[in-house]
Amino acid sequence: MDQVLETGRCLWKRWCEHPAYRPHDLLLGLDAGGIVPTIAVAWASGSQYRLAWKVNLDLPGKLVFHEPHARRLEVFAYGDFEGLRVLIVDDEITTGLTLANLVEALRAAGADITGALCLVEDTAGEGRQLLEGNGVPLCVLTTL
């Protein structure tokens, strides 16, 4: 548990020192690998958070986006995002396609994306270029 909390503090500190830092209203973590980092950053920052899941519920305010490299493509986030400043959290980024799809869906729902935090950036892909080309700054703890 101590390592999880420390990782959340480190990622949060790195974001606060990032040149593109902007405040947020809500953290949004991605299904599976992004859950623990999102909760860790929420603890470190005192932020509210939501999680995007691969569970399709019949709830209002359902946001759908795609994870193109997964077996089950559809991912769902729930709630009203209109006017919220959203900071996205995930475990890793390689191609950036999932995060770019999420950014597009959030913007269509009226959200302002302040940035994306990831534990690891796999520089074999072009995820950073894709996100930053869409105006979303990326902050990571480490690169491969």
DSSP lists the bridge partners of residue 49 as 27
Answer whether residue 1 shows pLDDT above 80.
no
What pairing do the DSSP bridges indicate for beta strands 62-66 and 26-29?
unpaired
CATH of the domain at 6: 3.40.50.2020
- Which range of residues forms the domain containing residue 98? 2-143
- 138 vs 125 pLDDT, higher one: 138
Q: Judge whether 111 and 82 are in contact, CB under 8 Å.
A: yes
Q: Which residue matches tokens 């930053």?
A: 132
pLDDT (tens digit per residue) in 46-74 = 999 999 999 999 998 899 999 888 788 99
Indicate the number of domains in the chain. 1
pLDDT (tens digit per residue) in 88-130 = 999 999 999 999 999 999 999 999 999 999 999 999 989 999 9
